[in-house]
Chain A
Amino acid sequence: MTTIAHDKDQEATLIRRPGPAELHPTRTHRRRRAVEVALAAAVPLLLVLVWQLAATQAWIDARVYPAPSTILSDGWDRAAAGDLWPDVWATLRRVLTGYALGTAAGYALGLLMGSLPLVRAALEPTLDALYVVPKLALLPIFLNMFGLGEGPQTALVATTVFFFVWISTMSAVIAIPSGHRDAGRVFGASPWQMFRHVLLPASLPSVLVGARIAAGVAVLVIVASEQIAATNGLGHLIFDSRALFRNDVMFVGIVCVAVLGVVFSELVRLLGRLLTPWAPRDRGRGQS
């Protein structure tokens, strides 16, 4: 902190002294955190309030865009009556199963292709070609393969997640500085020891970024596919309600999807933080 003081002779003196942040670091940090949290909550709250106002003042058609209070009370009633949970549960189950399968397969293949150039040479062109196909376009194929049950939905999520995790794992393994491998080799590490001590931890931070993006996209894909070919789930609920002109229920579904997506990707982020205590924290987020 720099201040300029004028003494009697009007000669300016430059004084640098500690500011509040230096004098009370803990308090400053706590306040800073409080402001960040308050801002994060205030912005969505403000948007909802504006929406509520617009609906009650009839600036927008409340039948097409129901007021947040209507959506909330409707959602509450449906949840209390137990009408909501079967759809939430159906979506959740598909997302989690598909996500687990896709992550496991993507990580294994990414690791293999990242560390063995021959496997990479064999598979990369094929996978690159499949990567650019919109995954929703594969749904008809999965419907033919697995019939009308849970199979196609889960397979679609798994495929989507697979490509995200595969790409981030492969590039992470390729990007490991050769010095890290050399050190392991000089000590005589076996392939398993190399994986456990070097490749896995070195690649984990970037793999987790891919896994977190995949978590959001998994929710996105499942909702789209449930609209096309499912008899339950949140995606089905949203489109079905619209067809029946129950726009309040439609919004309940949309809010559920948003909450599900945020919670899911935050859980993956939290897991990542626990798994990689050495890695720097996410930028643009408060430390907590």
Chain B
Amino acid sequence: MGDPHPDPHPSPHPKLHATDLTRTFGRTPHTIDALGPLDLTVAAGEFVCVVGPSGCGKSTLLRITAGLLRPSTGTLAIRTTSPRPAAMIFQDYGIYDWKSVRANVRFGLDVQRVPRREANARADAWLARLGLADFADAYPATLSGGMRQRVAIARALAVEPELLLMDEPFAALDAQLRTILQDELLELTQALRTTTLFITHSLEEALVLGDRVLVMSARPGRIIAEHRPPFPRPRTGDVRTAPEFTALKSELWDLLRKEAAPA
């Protein structure tokens, strides 16, 4: 608590460790180098935000971590005993229209064959925590965008993952709602201290949420800068108004602009 740098020095036992990671799409001669080479170390309990221009391979990195995609070269190691340590929150299409809100949140538990009674209890606890208790029996189609993303967050957290992967989860929401959900996520993750890899376009989002903010280059994505927002934990959304916040944001934006629009 109160330490802005949970792990300023490379830990001997990082939660996640990527070495020379690359990914190429397509076949010769029409190959596209999407990612890397990239080296990345994430400590246990750390919240790492990755920002970068569109198409820089941020999502590719996340999908490799989730096990949805294999790297072309290099390795990515996750320290865990579970075969499925990760839960992922998608920008869209993550939650199922055909399942009620409770059944959606229960989905990960159903897959793990958690008994129905216990699974319902756990799902309901997460629904209550995210303010969705009244909507447990509703179908997602009847919910607003913000509610749907709360359902996705509850579903991911319900399996108590060791690694939380978030792929621009708030990108489809309007600005006010995004701020509100950022604050809610901040509160949740500071209580849970789940290791998190968070992909975003928004520098503000990255600075509010992250212990560490990584800036990626244009395709093929490499990490070109690393910043530790100097705001002590537990922090709140109020850091947005701090003078250092604005300064750091414009510093990162200068970096990012060169990548987003190559001269």
Contact = CB atoms under 8 A, between A and B. Distances in A.
A186 B68 contact: yes
Contact of B139 (A177, A178, A182, A277): A277
B6 to A, nearest CB: 25
B111 A184 contact: yes
A178 B66 CA distance: 14
Contacts of B107: 183, 187, 197
The winner among A177, A197, A201 for most chain B CB atoms within 10 A is A197
Which bucket holds chain B's interface residue count? 20 to 34
A187 B84 contact: yes
B31 interface: no
A201 B95 CA distance: 13
Interface in A162-194: 177-180, 182-190, 193
A185 B63 CA distance: 11
A198 interface: yes
Contacts of A277: 139
B135 interface: no
B111 A193 contact: yes
Nearest to A177: B93
Nearest to A182: B68
B111 A183 contact: no
Contact of A197 (B90, B110, B139): B110
Nearest to A176: B93
Interface residues of A, number: 24
A278 B92 contact: no
Nearest to B87: A186
Interface in A186-212: 186-190, 193, 197-198, 201-202, 204
B97 interface: yes
Nearest to A193: B111
B98 A201 contact: yes
A198 B96 contact: yes
B94 interface: yes
A178 B84 CA distance: 19
Given A179-B90, A187-B107, A187-B159, A278 B112 contact: no
A276 interface: yes
Interface string A139-183: 000000000000000000000000000000000000001111011
B99 to A, nearest CB: 8
B85 to A, nearest CB: 10
Interface in B81-131: 83-84, 86-88, 90, 92-99, 107-108, 110-112
A185 B68 contact: yes
Contacts of B98: 201-202, 204, 276, 278-279
5 contacts: A179-B92, A186-B66, A187-B84, A197-B107, A201-B96
